[in-house]
Amino acid sequence: MKITVLGMGYIGLPTAIMFANHNQDVLGVDVNPQVVEMLQNGQVHIEEPGLQEALNQAVEKENFRVGLTPKPADVFIVAVPTPNNDDALKSCNLDYVLSAVEMILPCLSSGNTIIVESTIAPRSMEDFIKPLVEKAGFTIGKDVFLVHCPERVLPGQVIHELVYNNRIIGGVTPACTAAGKQVYGVFVKGELIEAKASVAEMAKLMENTYRDVNIALANELVKVCDKIEINALEVIEMANKHPRVNLHHPGPGVGGHCLAVDPYFIASKAEEESPLIQTAREINTSMPEFIIGKVNDLMADKIHPKIVVMGLTYKGILMMLVKVRQF
């Protein structure tokens, strides 16, 4: 297959390299000339264990090229950012995704598959991306196959998890789902789970929202225990001895590409129906202020206090400062 991957970020680049190393003809596309130049020179711009070695292998196989614009292909994979909008509920900004799809359209032909790996708000495939492709004269499920396959990898283990994690293949039609399974069957050893596109969108968002809500519960517990002078860590330790309880440990909030972003994509679609999700976001966002208050209390009697912050990234081992609460 000829595969074009749009977006050479922490998902798009490893995905492109993985296909290339499984004997597919891959073009990686990015709008950043510096990123393209680095990759053309055989250097990754992302810190991820094993990624440089994987790129070296792809270059040696001569299956991986990089450029600023897409070319005709059998499969187009969109892996570009979806940041929050600046509105009150921080809804999903689809600008980069729609722009990527528009870049694909001049290269599109009958029989092609378009896969969106970017995390998107519920019903984005049906309400925004499908009409864009149909406007170009294609029938979805017959001429062009449209699929949402959300990424589910853990930074630091991306190479392994791309291969062994289960993947949700969310087609806009059953024929689209079948086309998506054929693509990922090239290298994925995990289960390829069939779903509607809208279910795949919501499932990815709920995976991260579930974690955000559980972290918020632990963070709220520490505030309650602080108020009534009980050791929250001891409470968590004791509660977790129950066979069906698994409380998280409290912390400075939530960071990274996903957990601090994705819950808003749900809440913005159903504001009145999502008070728990919104409250969890408020709790986790409030934690830096709470911690600063506790530090100020501890330092109140110090004349020239010195404070050391150990660990600035949102996750250990990685140099990743995306939405970290420590700042």
So which residues are the catalytic ones? 204, 258
Quick check: helix, strand or coil at residue 84?
Answer: strand
Helices (H) and strands (E) in the chain, counts: 12, 8
d(CA 76, CA 73): 7
What are the tokens at 301? 């009697």
Residues 5/28, Cβ–Cβ less than 8 Å: yes
Q: Which residue has the tokens 């700042």?
A: 327
What are the tokens at 199? 């279910």
Q: Which whole-number Å values give the CA distances from 232 to 190, 194, 264, 279, 326, in the listed order?
A: 38, 42, 28, 20, 21
With a CB cutoff of 8 Å and minimum separation 6, the contacts of 308 are: none
d(CA 215, CA 31): 36
Closest Cα to residue 326, out of 235, 228, 251, 247? 251
What is the amino acid identity at position 240? Answer: N
Q: Which whole-number Å values give the CA distances from 230 to 100, 265, 321, in the listed order?
A: 52, 36, 32
What does the angle CA 287 – CA 203 – CA 127 come to, to the nearest 5 degrees?
Answer: 105
